[in-house]
Amino acid sequence: MAASAPLSDSGCAGFRPAGEVSMADILGAKKQDSEHVYAHNLLHVIKHIIFSLRTGPPRPRTTPSPPPSPGGTAMPDTKGTTDTIDTPGFDFDVIIVGGGPVGMLLASELRIGRAKAVVLEKLTERTPHSKAFGLHARSLESLDRRGLADRFREGARSWNNGHFAGLDVWVDFSLLDSAHNYALLSEQTRTERLLEERAEEFGCTIRRGHEVTAVRQDEDGAEVDVSGPDGPYTLRARYVVGTDGGRSLVRRSAGIAFPGTGGRVTARLADVVLADRENAPMGMERTERGLLFCVPLDDTYHRVATFDYEQGKETGSELGFEEFKDSVRTIWGDDMGASEPRWLSWFTDSACQAETYRAGRILLAGDAAHTHFPVGGQGVNLGLQDALNLGWKLCADINGWAGEGLLDTYDAERQEPARQVLANTRAQIALMNPDPYVTQLRELFQDLMRKDQVNHHIAEMLSGVRVRYDLPGPAHRLLGDFARDLRLETEEGPRTLPKFLRRGNFVLLDLAGRPEIAEEYAKWAAPLDWAGRVRHVVATCEDEPELAGALIRPDGYVAWAADRDASPAEIAEGLRTAIETWAGITDPTRAVFS
């Protein structure tokens, strides 16, 4: 049996024992009072639900599909993209501290972008205990763009429904405008294993049992002191990225503040054998004292968790099995005959976010940048998107083609998605409160969620599909949005957009035969020696009949788009600016973000 310190372990605002929360606490609070952040976030969700009702039903899905049947996938052709550039004076281009899913995905992204990285992980082997269970639509879309979706689907269960605050009305993921309009059951340890395998296939350097003990930086780079199996040593790199969890040493070393709200609710969990597994509760059950969560993990074990709004726990203490069973009895009425615990842990609803994700040569991603209560299966998905946003920008800087300020767009773009996740998880905590007054509010929410527009809004929010970046450039309905799985007719035959993004490159879609697009591409391709950085794809597309062209970033987001009715000058100038902004400039003094 394994026991651990609090699973959230966030290191943010101090722990406060959970206590009763009245209706006044929930609805009558001032925004600036940290005790009432939950009310503000609940009202924030309600505001967006009202907006979704005004905007009408969801648009028709252009690529509806049930979860595809499992199957393997060939490795994408990365020839010519993984040769790193020598970096005199540095051991590596990037040191990644923390070998969880976020760190492993970032390592692969850096490798295909021709950067030399090392992953330093203090654990000698992966933990067998999974904090997170699912992958949502946006993560699956992104993995598909790297040729990994089939690998993750193979042997994994999927489902079309999810929950919001344990309400009786399910969130319907099939409403999503996505080829992956479902959620995939992939325990965090499995997700980490698959991403580590991909990193190893790409030749990434991964050092387990190597604990970083200190981090420091100067104008030109950063250093880490490491305690390894053969003794201490020091490494130097251009950048250090902390993916080392809520109590991030990297974040603290950089002096980055981590403000947020302390714990009000205590969750105690265990993987146990139940005496009567056939009649065990399924999912989330709300009682007068709190909530019980119960799901089967395999043919023997269940994951059981209690959410206690009254009985707190001291920071740093471990959870004992008797304490866990007492909590189950208090909330459920009996301990369900729980026995043979193989893992015990606990966490609170503390929620914190780094004030900045970058301080000089040090950057943060995943839980090192944001922590929240694990409801809705959003945490690991949020971190994976951090890695996908950061990886290609670091490569641009390291390989010398980034405009000044490009790397700062990582913080600018990824702060808001994390704020939204912290907001909706706090709202769910407020809705799950066992206070009888909250029951009326839950019933109101359930009525709202029976409307397709509201259910669609919640599904987009939990799955990450609502994320859209505020990018510079001529206004267009697709600008800053994630490029869908467009079906393209090319000279080589039918293709889908994800296949053109496998190498971590830009894609320039040329869909109307406009000569300005080919001419602008030709102007930039030779002087920049792109070497596969931007792939020019000439095709037709029935999914977007009005679209003349688009520039897709390596992370899948649209950096520029123009319709067929745009003038030649508008297309030429818009594309030229987008290429210069995102894909490389010939004159480093022409910085577009400064």
525-540 pLDDT, tens digit per residue, is 765 555 468 899 999 9
Q: Please provide residue 200's backbone torsions phi and psi, each rounded to the nearest 5 degrees.
A: -65, -40
Distance in angstroms (rounded) separating the CA atoms of residues 146 and 140:
10
pLDDT surpassing 50 at residue 29:
no
Distance in angstroms (rounded) separating the CA atoms of residues 152 and 160:
17
Co-location of 275 and 131 in the same domain: no
Co-location of 336 and 373 in the same domain: no
| Structure-model confidence comparison of residues 520 and 174, the more confident one | 174
Co-location of 239 and 156 in the same domain: yes
Q: Is residue 590 part of a domain?
A: no
pLDDT tens digits for range 163-173: 899 899 999 99
Task: Show the domain range for 514.
Answer: 487-583
Q: Which of 408, 430, 448 is the last residue of a domain?
A: 408
The CATH number covering residue 493 comes to: 3.40.30.120
Co-location of 341 and 383 in the same domain: no
Q: What SS3 state is found at 108?
A: helix
Strand partners, 345: 269
* pLDDT confidence of residue 492: 93
User: What is the residue type of 518?
Assistant: A
**Segment holding 200, helix H or strand E:** helix 188-201
Q: Is residue 557 part of a domain?
A: yes
Co-location of 251 and 308 in the same domain: no
Residue 460's closest CA among 180, 268, 255?
Answer: 180
Co-location of 279 and 330 in the same domain: yes
Whole-model pTM: value is 0.87
Q: Is residue 188 part of a domain?
A: yes
pLDDT surpassing 70 at residue 593:
no
How many domains does the chain divide into? 3
* pLDDT confidence of residue 480: 98
DSSP state letter for 173: G
Report which listed range, 151-165, 181-195, 312-326, 350-364, is most confident.
Answer: 350-364
Strand partners, 371: 352
Co-location of 180 and 197 in the same domain: yes
Q: Which of 408, 432, 451 is the last residue of a domain?
A: 408
> Which has the minimum average pLDDT: 71-80, 403-412, 489-498?
71-80
Q: Is residue 291 part of a domain?
A: yes
pLDDT surpassing 80 at residue 156:
yes
Mean pLDDT of 102-114: 97
